[in-house]
Structure 1
Amino acid sequence: MKRFAAFVTGAAMIATQPVFAQMGAPGERTPTMPAVAGPLAAKYKADADRIVQAAMADDEGYADLAYLTDHIGKRVSGSPQLNTAVEWGAELMKKAGLQNVQIQPVMVPHWVRGNESATITFKGEAGEITKPLHMLGLGMSVGTPKEGITAPVVFVHDFAELDALADSAVKGKIVVFNPGWHGYGVGSMYRTGGPSRAAAKGAAAVLVRSATGLAMQIPHTGTLRYDEKQPKVPSAAISVEDALLIERLAKEGPVTVHLQMDAHMEADVKAGNVIGEIVGSEHPEQVVVLGGHIDSWDVGQGAQDDGSGIMATFEAVSLLHKLGLKPKRTIRIVFWVNEENGGAGGRAYREWIGDKIGNQVAAIEMDGGAEKPLGIGYGGFGGPRRPAPPAPGAAVAPAAGRGAGFDVSSLSADEKQSFVYLQDIVSLLGSIGTDSVSPGGGGSDIGPITADGVPALSPHTVGDHYFDWHHTEADTLDKVDPDSFKKNTAMLSVVAYVLADMDGKLAGRKSTFRE
């Protein structure tokens, strides 16, 4: 997963003044609205009960996830494993009986990690230290010269400390960022924007503390974004422990790092979005789309990020077909490609939709792991989950939680009604504990269409461990709890079915899309 921003300023809680609970990842404030049963619950109770019962008894979705992770494995864009997964995904949809199964061709970047290593050397009054660092090159990084780079370290906590340094204090050195843990939005900001900020001052390379709160010597990769106006410098993530070690040693005396990275770009490779449908019985041109991204990073198995997302959404749609439920509108499942280091799949899907964007009734993306679900998130209300890097000299504020800035005064009548609809729908899910609605939902794959006003949704989970595992070697099948996976599947299936069959529609807002 890479975080995105397709957002609007302000939104609000509905006029019925629901009770708010504070849920979400540790340190984040996430307002949630409780279920309120209404006419949709009365109409769809029998169908929803059947869906939930089938989902909680289903083992096929998790078995498919096991095959994807154990037998295909990591599937970074440009790799043979990704194209194997794409072909497998299409066959899976065909075997499930879905209609209009196709692979939409998409050209994706091909970044290759190669061999890499980093070693720290320290000489001080207390003695000498030489040890390898736990590191992972950042996605899309350039490599070092073949012999590597050996240079003194400049340690900073944040951009403000970097900006305060003279260019001469940074030139030719390796900048190490350790902003601490203030949520993924802040952590990933240093990963994506730190290399070019340091390069602007003449840095030779950059090391960034991994964007996680878990200290277990596990480095986290993720994409960076070079400013084309600045030199491209080799950049890698290091473990929390190693970042803290460098911080301590830098207070005692000079620290030197040797960094070697073979990372490089190769020619783009043809891959594709995998698409299948249950065609609507009355309004086939109107579409509720749901899915996740089929690519992963080149470490681990891509289990939570985002194997769990594509398999839970797929099984949600497959169950509807198995149960013979055919909604009025079309339900479309998409496995988007190249979410992690380019977003080519989401953009290609938007181009494919073209001027029929008005027929996209709702878009649901699952890209936050299959942890215990609490309910559904709706709309890009509040700030983005990964803010833009601040301008030089500007302070960095801790990231706000999902739904931060949720303003009661700014909802339109249609948005208020949309929350009423969703509170009604999730009342059908009380038996599995997913009967809440929260402001804030979406994802980077659906960002290009939700920016054009398509209503955005995504599961809201407890978020206890997702950022501990994703983008690491530890993102493996064992991190996905089967019961939580089934509950996510059940919730997605019920929500997608009712949205595709009910008479009303959710409201969306046009917004500014920024990957």
Structure 2
Amino acid sequence: MRLITLLAASAALLSVAPAKAADLSATAAALRDKALIDSTAWSVAESLTTEIGARPTGSPAMERARDWAAAKFAELGFTNIKVESYEAPSWLRGAESAEVVAPFPQKLHILGLGLSAPTPKGGLEAEIALFRTLEELKAQPPGALKGKIAVVTEKMIRAQDGSGYGAINAARTAGAAEASRRGAVAYLVRSLSTDDTRLPHTGGMRPWGDVTPIPAAALSTPDAELLEHMAERGRPVRVRLSMASSFTPKAPAWNISGEIRGSEAPDEVIVVGGHLDSWDPGTGAVDDAAGIAITTAAAKLIGELPHHPRRTIRVVMFGAEEQGGAGAAYAAAHKDELGRIVMVGESDEGAGAVWKVSLPKGSAGHPAMRAFASTLPAVKAYVEDAPARFGGADVFPMVAAGAPVADLHQDASRYFDLHHSADDTLDKIDPAELAQNVAVWAALLYTVADSDIDFRALAAGGGQ
């Protein structure tokens, strides 16, 4: 069996002859260069943010976004356009306010977190219990926070790879449940952000399970520090909250897709995209109109070639990433074609330039992937040694089911200044960096689509 596996992997490595690899490299480089001066991605992002704006799942704007997506695919020459419906959770924001009422009355800037409970009519007022980390809160015994508003002020570290976000993500996603378990009546968390403005950053929480839901909101980073300074004075700090919201566990949602159909093996499909939904404070520009625009523009450029590549490229605009549901729904709807999905990937890290690429396991040495890698130095990117593992929230259910995945890592140094906030607007996108993303995506998609590379066979052959 081991010999058979090695022979299969060897055959896969030889499946692109040197002349073909040279052709792939030349066309991929030409696509890269064209992408750098092409305005399609900017036009798509501008259209979505201007004509639709914020797009929370379950909102009327999301219905308009669904129709916008199908029309945009048609306008750009995609075929086999599909609108696939499913149900997903929908939490929608109402009026919100917060203020310190004692000992130093001041207004606070907050945004409710997805799945937050509303406050009672007229709001609630309570003393805060402040913790510098989530672990400090979790160290409190049951009942220790009874009647208090728990506050966690853990800071996020700025990092090019965005790793600072993952390091403290639980403070937002799980902190309110931990506070409720200990008797808290509400929860405030320092925004998962690297900015220094008074614009808070929202985001989702995990389902409550058997924990009593409580009001939960993100504080702007200066306001989190303001509460720290007040608490340091040793006097009880009382805060008043008023938060309204509505929640629907099963709201209509849609994944919209369009294809650049393959010329020789159209049933072999590369699935890429971004998410169409967004949170409500801004216009969902970097998160994730940019990802929608990048992958759509890359596929469109390939579709304009005189001859389509061998395999089909499918771009999906996933309709419920922020509050969850899109990826699982798509994987379930397409489970029968999983074996024919050649590769998946998602652009959902903003509009910063791609600086490194992680390829499917064992494939970096394949001639097609070497052809792709040869296009990257000109745009200041490279292929890293470690294989891709995640791909994005919307494609990961397919990855978990066995689909090969690529990760195109963007410079996230500034992304968390903007994401989930009122500052997530079109003016924050650098057109040149957006075009660089399209260049890298177009080169990768073309080399995979016009070769017969078999990522599964390469992974089975014991590659990295």
SS at match of 1:428: coil
State the secondary structure of the residue aligned to 1:58: coil
1:77 is aligned to 2:57: yes
- Distance change in 2, residues 1:163/1:79 (3 Å): closer
2:28, 2:372 within 8 Å by CA — same for their partners in 1? no
Range that drifts further, 198-207 or 226-235: 226-235
1:366 aligns with 2:350: no
Matching residue of 1:240: 221
Shift of 1:226: 3.3
Deviation, structure 1 residue 323: 2.3
Shift of 1:53: 2.5
Match for 2:230 among 249, 254, 262?
Answer: 249
Distance 2:369 2:145 in 1: 52
Deviation at 1:257, TM superposition (A): 0.7
Q: Which of 350, 374, 382 is residue 427 of structure 1 equivalent to?
A: 374
* Counterpart residue type for residue 316 of structure 2: V
SS in 1 for 2:277: coil
Cα distance per residue 1:355-402 (max 9 Å; x no partner): 3211111001000011122132335xxxxxxxxxxxxxxxxxxxxxxx
Which whole-Å deviations, capped at 9, do the CAs of 1:128-156 have from their partners, x for residues lacking one? x1111110000121111011110000001
Q: Tell me how far apart the structure 1 counterparts of residues 414 and 62 of structure 2 sit (CA, whole Å).
A: 25
Instruction: Note closer, same or farther for the CA distance 1:234–1:423 as it changes in structure 2 (3 Å cut).
Output: farther
- Residues 295 and 337, structure 1, Cα contact 8 Å, conserved in 2: yes
Letter in 1 for 2:107: P
Shift of 1:83: 1.4
Gaps of 5+ in 1: 1-37, 124-128, 380-414, 511-515
Q: Which amino acid aligns with 2:24?
A: Y
Q: Which amino acid aligns with 2:294?
A: A
Which stretches in structure 2 are left out of the alignment for 5+ residues? 1-17, 158-163
1:315: Cα distance to partner? 0.6
How many angstroms apart in 2 are the aligned matches of 1:203 and 1:119? 18
Query: Does 1:113 pair with 2:93?
Result: yes
Q: Which amino acid aligns with 2:293?
A: M
User: Aligned-pair distance for 1:434?
Assistant: 2.6
Query: Given residue 324 of structure 1, which amino acid in structure 2 is its aligned partner?
Result: P
Q: Which runs of 4 or more aligned residues in structure 1 lie more than 6 Å from their structure 2 counterparts after TM superposition?
A: none
User: Is it true that 1:493 corresponds to 2:442 in the alignment?
Assistant: yes
With over 3 angstroms needed to count, the CA separation of the structure-2 counterparts of 1:177 and 1:419, relative to structure 1, is farther
Paired-residue identity, %: 36
Tell me if structure 1 keeps the 8 A contact 2:88–2:253.
yes
Report 1:46-57 matches (<5 A): 46-57=26-37
Distance 1:423 1:156 in 2: 50
Once residues 19 and 121 of structure 2 are traced to their aligned partners in structure 1, the CA distance between those partners, rounded to angstroms, is: 67
RMSD: 1.9
Change in Cα spacing, 1:56 to 1:417, as seen in structure 2 (3 Å) is: closer
1:228 equivalent among 189, 203, 209? 209
Structure-1 residue corresponding to 2:154: 179
Q: CA deviation at 1:438?
A: 6.0
Partner of 2:10: none
Instruction: Please state if 1:315 is matched with 2:264.
Output: no
For 2:4, the equivalent position in structure 1 comes to: none
| Residues 369, 447 of structure 2: 8 Å contact kept | no
Tell me if the contact between 1:376 and 1:438 (Cα under 8 Å) persists in the aligned partners: no
Evaluate the alpha carbon distance shift between residue 68 and residue 484 of structure 1 in structure 2; reply closer, same or farther with a 3 A threshold.
same
**Preserved contact between residue 96 and residue 243 of structure 2 (Cα < 8 Å):** yes
State whether structure 2 residue 371 is matched by structure 1 residue 416: no
- Conservation of the 8 A alpha-carbon contact between 1:40 and 1:425: no
Go from structure 1 to structure 2 and tell me whether the alpha carbon gap of 1:438 and 1:369 turns closer, same or farther (over 3 Å shift): farther
- For residues 144 and 87 of structure 2, the distance between their equivalents in structure 1, rounded to whole angstroms, comes to 42
Match of 1:305 in 2: 287
User: What amino acid is the match of 1:301?
Assistant: T
Task: Give distance in 1, aligned partners of 2:230 and 2:271.
Answer: 51
Specify the alignment match of 2:68 in structure 1: 88
Say which of 133, 141, 162 aligns to 2:108: 133
Taking the aligned partners of 1:463 and 1:70, their CA distance within structure 2 comes to 24
Normalized against structure 1, the TM-score is what?
0.80
Aligned partner of 2:187 in structure 1 is 206
Aligned residue pairs: how many? 432
- 1:451 and 2:433 aligned: no
